[in-house]
């Protein structure tokens, strides 16, 4: 069972390349393993190729954000949250 610990939807549905395709985005923790993930809900009519492309785009954006954050403050809480996080499609 997964627990939602943060709703990222406002950050991924604003004025960016994913806004028309993402209907929800959440940071979740698997209660059994404590593994963190960013899980993304897509419009149902999107192809798997489009979904995978968006996941890659979001992953690359997060890598850039982490690199910039680390350069300014290597002990930032954001970096601790992102450490080991997986990005994947939300599966009901």
Provide the residue-wise pLDDT of the chain in tens; the chain has 92 residues. 899 999 988 877 665 666 788 899 999 999 889 899 999 999 999 999 999 999 998 899 889 999 999 999 999 998 998 999 999 999 88
CA distances (Å), origin 47, targets 11, 18, 43, 57 = 22, 14, 9, 15
At 6, list the tokens: 């943060």
The pLDDT of residue 44 is 93
Q: How far apart are the first and last CA of the chain?
A: 11
At 69, list the tokens: 């954050």
The pLDDT of residue 19 is 73
The pLDDT of residue 14 is 64
User: In whole angstroms, what is the distance from residue 64 CA to residue 68 CA?
Assistant: 6
């Amino acid at each position: 069972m997964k627990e939602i610990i943060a709703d990222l939807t406002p950050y991924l549905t604003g004025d960016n390349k994913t806004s028309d395709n993402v209907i929800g985005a959440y940071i979740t923790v698997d209660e059994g393993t404590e593994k963190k993930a960013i899980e993304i809900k897509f419009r149902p009519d999107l192809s798997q190729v489009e979904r995978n492309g968006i996941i890659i785009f979001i992953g690359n954006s997060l890598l850039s954000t982490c690199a910039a954050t680390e350069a300014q403050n290597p002990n930032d809480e954001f970096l601790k949250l992102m450490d080991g996080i997986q990005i994947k499609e939300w599966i009901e």
